[in-house]
Amino acid sequence: MVVMDPVPLPYFRHPDELPAALPTRTEIEAATTTLPTTRHAAYDGRIVVIGEHFVVKYGQRVSENEGYAMLYIENHLSSFPAPRLYAMYRAEERLFLVMELMPGKDLESFWPHLSEDDKVSISQQLRSIWDRMRSLPSPGLYCNMTKGPLPFRFFLTLDKNPAINGPFTTAKDFALALALQSKRNWKYNNRKGWISEYFARNLPKVLKDNRSTFSHSDIHRKNILINEISATGDEERKFVVTAVLDWEAAGWYPMYWEYASTFVDMGWWDDWAEKLEIILDSWPSETGMLRMVRQDLDY
């Protein structure tokens, strides 16, 4: 099996597999310890820490796809640094994901204080992690974790439109979906989408990779946890990647997507972009075209 079959909700892991009793909704909603997120402050959702074992992400816009991604990783990538999913259920139109509390601190906090050697070491660890993900066999589709619509924001619409949302069987259809999304936006604003027509002519020429690859789709330093191991004896201090978090946009995308979708949102404020080229193979042509798409769709 190369994709997840949806699990019936509510999903609860067997009590024998839990580190402690699951937190109640009262405990979750009263929690005051929160974790950093790349989400905008207006996003309807919270990420809270409960006790020594649990993190809970919940809200109306929290996605089942993230829960399926964690289950898929557990089943297909042994000893992979991602949280285990302990429960997934809905209550009052909100989805609750109860996850394993992973050790470490987010890389965003550490980065300005790391030496060049430490940054390279962490980047090489991340390269190994992403290589394992990318070695998984392709399902032959561009899709979410359960063969459904792609979860990345470029493919989202208020009304279902499979030509834009997916899933897609060809790289051409994947590329043309972005042109259709652009056309829909311009039509909504009662204007002719000249750039949409440019995309329709040229996106399939540039975004032409044919193999779908398991992708996280949100490589951000806030989504990576590391632990500092103190120096002992002759050993030097070092940093170890302990977790990759926030799998809501995960799915099966073209090989260039992980790199290109990261760089279109990149702020060139420091050397993080440089180190990403250690973590991922570079796809500069695809990135340039996708950055035009991003400017059109997001602005």
Q: Are residues 191 and 155 both part of a single domain? A: yes
The model's pLDDT over 135-182, given as tens digits with 9 standing for 90+, comes to: 999 999 999 999 999 999 999 999 999 999 999 999 999 999 999 999
The model's pLDDT over 178-228, given as tens digits with 9 standing for 90+, comes to: 999 999 999 988 899 899 999 999 999 999 888 999 999 999 999 999 999
Dist. CA 148–CA 167, nearest whole Å = 6
Q: Are residues 57 and 136 both part of a single domain? A: no
Dist. CA 159–CA 184, nearest whole Å = 12
Dist. CA 56–CA 29, nearest whole Å = 10
Q: Are residues 27 and 174 both part of a single domain? A: no
Q: Are residues 96 and 215 both part of a single domain? A: no
Lowest mean pLDDT, pick from 40-49, 169-178, 241-250, 255-264: 40-49
Token pair for 234: 């002759």
Which CATH number does the domain housing residue 216 bear? 3.90.1200
Which CATH number does the domain housing residue 87 bear? 3.30.200
Q: Are residues 163 and 190 both part of a single domain? A: yes
The pLDDT, as a whole number, for residue 236 is 74
The pLDDT, as a whole number, for residue 299 is 80
Dist. CA 15–CA 114, nearest whole Å = 40
Q: Are residues 164 and 75 both part of a single domain? A: no
Q: Are residues 201 and 287 both part of a single domain? A: yes
The model's pLDDT over 52-83, given as tens digits with 9 standing for 90+, comes to: 999 999 999 999 999 999 999 999 999 999 99
Domain count, the chain: 2
Q: Is residue 6 one of the residues assigned to a domain?
A: no
Among 141, 144, 138, 171, residue whose Cα is nearest residue 156: 144
Dist. CA 2–CA 138, nearest whole Å = 7
Residue ranges making up the domain that contains 86: 11-100
Which residues fall within 8 angstroms of residue 87, CB to CB, at 6 or more apart? 10, 11, 12, 13, 22, 96, 97, 98
What is the reported pTM? 0.93
Sign of CA dihedral 276, 278, 279, 283: positive
Q: Are residues 140 and 47 both part of a single domain? A: no
- The sheet with strand 224-229 has its strands ordered as 105-106, 224-229, 238-244
* 229 band by pLDDT with thresholds 50, 70 and 90: confident
Q: Which of 76, 100, 124 is the last residue of a domain?
A: 100
Q: Is residue 35 one of the residues assigned to a domain?
A: yes
3-state DSSP call for residue 236?
A: coil
